[in-house]
Chains A and B, each alone.
Chain A
Amino acid sequence: MICVKDLSVCIGDFAFKGVQLQVPEGGYGVLMGKTGSGKTTLLESIAGLKPIRQGRIELGGRTVTHMRPAERGIGYVPQDGALFATMTVYQNLAFALVVRRTRRQNVERRIDEIAGLLRISDLLQRKPAGLSGGERQRVALGRALSFEPAVLLLDEPLSALDDDTRYQMYDVIRRVREHTRVTTLHVTHNRHEASEMADVLFQMTDGGVSEVRGGPEAISNRIENLGG
Chain B
Amino acid sequence: MIPATPIDESSASRVPQSPGQKAHRVGSDLPFYAGLIVLGGAYLFLLLAMLIADLFYTSPGHLLAALGKPAIQYSIGLSLISCSITALLSLWVAVPIGYLLARHRFRGHSLVDAILDIPIVLPPLVVGLSLLILFQFWPFRLAADWVVYQIPAVILAQFMVACAFATRTLRTTFDQIDPRCEQVALTLGCSRAQAFASVVLPEARRGIITAATLAWARSLGEFGPLLIFAGATRMKTEVLSTTVFLELSVGDLEAAVAVSMIMIVAAVVVLMIARIWGSRDLTL
Q: Which residues of A contact B (CB under 8 A)?
A: 44, 47-49, 68-70, 72, 74-76, 78, 80, 82-87, 95-96, 99-100, 143-144, 147
B184 near A78: Cβ-Cβ < 8 Å? yes
B189 near A100: Cβ-Cβ < 8 Å? yes
Report if B233 contacts A (CB, 8 A): no
Task: State the 8 A-B residue pairs at the shortest beta-carbon distance, nearest first.
Answer: A96-B188, A86-B202, A82-B180, A69-B186, A76-B187, A99-B189, A69-B187, A70-B189
- Chain B residues near A72 (CB, 8 Å)? 187
- Chain A residues near B199 (CB, 8 Å)? 84
Q: How many inter-chain contacts with C-beta < 8 Å in the A-B complex? A: 64
A179 to B188, CA, bound (A): 20
Given A82-B178, A86-B203, A99-B194, A76-B189 contact (CB < 8 Å): no
In-complex Cβ contact of B188 among A49, A68, A99 (8 A):
A99
B-side binding surface: helix, strand, loop or mixed? helix
In chain B, positions 178-203 with a C-beta closer than 8 Å to chain A are: 178, 180-181, 183-191, 194, 198-199, 202-203
- Chain A residues near B186 (CB, 8 Å)? 48-49, 68-70
- Chain B residues near A95 (CB, 8 Å)? 185, 188, 198
Report if B69 contacts A (CB, 8 A): no
- Chain A residues near B198 (CB, 8 Å)? 95, 99
Report if B205 contacts A (CB, 8 A): yes
In-complex Cβ contact of A70 among B181, B191, B202, B205 (8 A):
B191
B194 near A69: Cβ-Cβ < 8 Å? no
- Chain B residues near A82 (CB, 8 Å)? 178, 180-181, 183-184
| Smallest CB gap from B202: residue in A | A86
- Chain A residues near B189 (CB, 8 Å)? 70, 96, 99-100, 147
In chain B, positions 44-103 with a C-beta closer than 8 Å to chain A are: none
- Chain A residues near B194 (CB, 8 Å)? 99
Given A82-B178, A84-B199, A86-B205, A74-B187 contact (CB < 8 Å): yes
- Chain B residues near A78 (CB, 8 Å)? 180, 183-184
Q: Which residues of B contact A (CB under 8 A)?
A: 178, 180-181, 183-191, 194, 198-199, 202-203, 205
Q: How far is the CB of A217 from chain B (nearest CB, A)?
A: 35
A70 to B199, CA, bound (A): 15
A74 to B184, CA, bound (A): 10
A99 to B183, CA, bound (A): 15
Q: How far is the CB of B97 from chain A (nearest CB, A)?
A: 23
Q: How far is the CB of A113 from chain B (nearest CB, A)?
A: 17
A76 near B184: Cβ-Cβ < 8 Å? yes
28 A-B residue contacts at CB 8 Å? Answer: A44-B183, A47-B183, A48-B187, A68-B186, A68-B191, A70-B186, A70-B187, A70-B189, A70-B190, A74-B187, A76-B183, A76-B188, A78-B183, A82-B183, A83-B181, A84-B181, A85-B181, A85-B203, A86-B203, A86-B205, A95-B185, A96-B189, A99-B190, A99-B198, A143-B184, A143-B188, A144-B188, A147-B189
- Chain B residues near A143 (CB, 8 Å)? 184, 188
B202 near A49: Cβ-Cβ < 8 Å? no
B191 near A49: Cβ-Cβ < 8 Å? no
| Smallest CB gap from A98: residue in B | B198
A49 near B205: Cβ-Cβ < 8 Å? no
- Chain B residues near A87 (CB, 8 Å)? 202
